[in-house]
Each structure stands twice: as C-alpha cells, then as structure tokens.
Amino acid sequence: MRVIEFREALREAMSEEMRRDDKIFLMGEEVAEYNGAYKVSKGMLAEFGAKRVIDTPIAELGFAGIAVGAASNGLRPIVEFMTFNFSLVAIDQIINSAAKMYSMSGGQYNVPIVFRGPTASAGMLSSQHSQAFENWFANCPGLKVVVPSNPYDAKGLLKSAIRNNDPVIFMESEQMYGDKAEVPEEEYTIPIGLADIKREGTDVTIVSFGKIIKVAYAAAKELEAEGISVEIIDLRTVRPIDYETVINSVKKTNRLVVLEEAWPLASISTEIAFKVQKDAFDYLDAPILRITTADTPLPYAPTLIEASLPNVARVIKAVKEVMYVNK
C-alpha cells in the first residue's frame, strides 16, 4: 500500500469530496494562492477555481459567519483556521449559530459545515498559539469533535465529517502534517464516534487521542521490555465519545490511565474517568490516573515546554503506579 503524509491525506479527503459534490467549498486564510499555511490545500485552487477555494481576510468571525449562512442555505463549507487558537475570534458563530441552528429551527435547518485546523502545542509558539481546545468544543451540544492521530484515520474521518449534516470541529496538529502512513487509494470512510484499539494489551489501558498518543506508544514500548502489557485506545472523536470500547478494555485490564494534551480542569480525561468509575467501578484494581498539560499557559522556553507537556516518563510512572498500587 502507498505511504502518504498527513497533509496529503487531508487534501485527498477534501478534493475527493469536492469532486463528488459541487456544493462543497473550502475557505480560510491563505488556503488558495499560497496553497495553505501548511500546504494542506496545495493545488486545490488550480483544480477547483477561486469560487470553491477562497482566500479570506484575517477576520475569523466574519468568514465563519459567512460559512454558517452558506451551510444553512444548502452549501457545505469547509472552514480552515490557521490555528484553533484563532477560532476564539469566531466562537460566537460556532457556538451560538452553527451548533444551535438545527435545534432552534425545530429541525428545519441543518448546518453541514467542517471547521478544521491545527490544535495544541507546536514547538516554541508560546502561550497564545499552543492551546488545546478539544474539551471546550466537546462541551457544546450540537457539535461533533474529531481529533485524528494519523494519516489513515485523518482521511477517513474527514470524509465522514464533510458528509455529516451537523457542524464538525476537526482538529489536527502542526507537528503531524509531515507524518507518514499507509493510506489506501480506494474509497473509504471512518464513522464518527468510534474509538480504535491501536495496541492490544492485558495489564493496563491507556486512553488518548491526537498527536499526544505518540507518547503512549513510546511508553508502551519501554514498558513491554519490563513485562508490562499496555492496551492503547485512540478515541479519534471526543464528541461523541465511544465509552463502550473504553469500558470493555478496562474490564479486561482492570486499570486505566488517560493521556491528553489539555489543561486538567474539565478535560476529556476527567469525563472518561468519571464515566469509567461510574459504569465499571467493580472492575478497577487501582484508582484511575490522568496525565495532562500543566495547569499554566504554555511557556516559550523549550525546557519549560518539555516540563509542561505530557511525556514518556510521566506515562511510565503513572502505569507503574496503577500496576503496583496494591503490592
């Protein structure tokens, strides 16, 4: 099977859907003439023209509002934010318009729109460009929130998001655009709301999503050398959450560590921990542990970034803590 980059998988998903349905269009800052800030939309202007690949001003509230209006009138926009940090400027349109339209219209108006772009940390970009807002958007009824961790999932999930009749928040990572993986050339989609067991294990379950799941893979490899078998679940979507897959895994391993790149308060890991202790408490042999970004704005200095973000050492420590709590 061929191997392509994360950015290529996203481009293929958008281009294939735009060829299939002429109601779909892409808009955002630098998506057209510049081929995208991260070259995700490279070549799309040449293929689809300026009416379907649209450069916008630096005015997220304005072009998000245009997209919501277009979606309410039968079109299917894909809105690219250069970073989801900038989506805060447009959050009124996302939360108060896109997410509410179907409910407030009594089901008369769907808003089939995808808001996509990079989330969380991406190196030395400091506090205003390094925030993970997955849990913010997942808190809002009316939205679906997708956070893929690899090119294969990214393509299949983005195609499903574009075809969905509800507004979908599709969150990527600047540090993953160059990641490579096998992606089939034939048509496929991945259902929104279905987690994936990326690594089978018997001793402890790690639940994660997005780029930070790479830390779980690295930790699992080191733990395997010490005789500890780790099962890794990639949520892939954080609204809706596939609780069933998580709970079934915990019933097998009896231990749970949740890893995410967000601040601890009201995080996805908090929600997962609550749901598991509620529905699978009798299966737990140790308290649930979570690993998050430090509860502070992300600093600029690389040493402080390393100390703030989840890392392999913290994951290994947490796994060993739940493994040996009663020994």
Catalytic amino acids? 60, 129
User: Considering just the CA atoms, what is the radius of gyration of the chain in Å?
Assistant: 20
Q: How far apart are CA 313 and CA 216, in angstroms?
A: 10
Best CA proximity match to 48, nearest among 4, 8, 14: 14
Residue 240, preceding bond cis, omega within 30 degrees?
yes
Query: What is the rounded distance in angstroms from the CA atom of residue 317 to the CA atom of residue 299?
Result: 24
* 80, 44 Cβ separation under 8 angstroms: no
Distance CA 250, CA 281 (A): 10
For residues 161, 164, 169, 174, the Cα torsion angle rounded to the nearest 10 degrees is 10
Pairing of strands 144-146, 237-239: antiparallel
Pairwise CA distance, residues 264 & 153, whole Å? 26
The separation between CA 313 and the C-alpha centre of its own chain, rounded to angstroms, equals 23
Task: Give 56's contacts (C-beta < 8 A, 6+ positions apart).
Answer: 27, 28, 29, 31, 62, 63
